[in-house]
Structure 1
Amino acid sequence: MKLYGVTGWKNNGKTGLMERLVAEFTARGLTVSTLKHAHHATDVDQPGTDSFRHRTAGAAEVVLASPNRVAIMQELRGAAEPSLTELLARMRPVDLILIEGFKREPHPKIEAHRTEAGKPLIAPDDSTIRAVASDTPLTLDRPVFDLDDTEGVADFIAVELGL
């Protein structure tokens, strides 16, 4: 499986770029999965549902299956957060996995950058960031795309990965 990341600080356009890249690559006929890292506590399950009740009763893993999707919730219960490598090993094979976050991991990435967010670029100090998608022109030692140039960013990633 080919991997490529979208990284950047909060409110810099990562999720929007991810969403557009998934749509672009699937329109090109590729199978795409995503993996997103969250720094905050997150819960995809809601209080009162049967699956929530199973988890709070102590289940280590709850699989929720329907005709439309399957969700697997695994409780860490104090164990260490799985590494990116461990998480990737759990995923089904596809043509491309797009990774949001995990900015310190060694996979190739594109940085999403919005000037109004007021955060410095990560790219100058991180060689795993192969390009930047920004809402303002930048002069860097690597390619810079307009943040809304989804096709250009997708073409760049495709060439980088040999897709």
Structure 2
Amino acid sequence: MARPGARRRGWVGWALVLAFVVMPILEIYVLIQVGQVIGAWWTILLLIADSILGGWLVKHEGRRAWQALTTALNSGRMPAKELADGALILIGGTLMLSPGFVTDAFGILLILPFTRPVARRLLTQVVSKRLVVVGTPLGGTTQQRPRPGPDGPVVQGEVVD
């Protein structure tokens, strides 16, 4: 019988192989193919333009996500969508930092406001599978117990003079 953590380690191992072996080989292949079609200098110029566009896009969308997060917090509601957008923009910006067209394409897809909702749904599914919710069975109530302090249990209360 497989150990409980073996499945997770297998998934992480394949993700690392994909990130550190397959992606660089794919990036080099695409760079060579683009360079053969448009020339080496145009390929370099295109990579530079792509980086400049990505930097501007990350700055612009990051500012919008920060404003949305601030608005949600000030209105007193849980900023789940805004936090997910911020995480996706951060991941997309990180992908834009690496040289290559494939990672830049994935990064732009995570940053653009009209493609981000699809990535947000995927991120929500992944996080919700890993999230463990602890509650009481069938909506029962929980009892609060005094928390232990340095001199024994601490009883919360109100001081009246």
Fold equivalence (TM over 0.5): no
Bucket of the pairwise TM-score, normalised by the shorter protein: under 0.3
The structure, 1 or 2, with the larger RCO (C-alpha pairs under 8 Å, 6+ apart) is 1
| Structure with higher strand content | 1
TM-score, with structure 1 as normaliser: 0.21
| Structure with higher helix content | 2
TM-score, with structure 2 as normaliser: 0.21
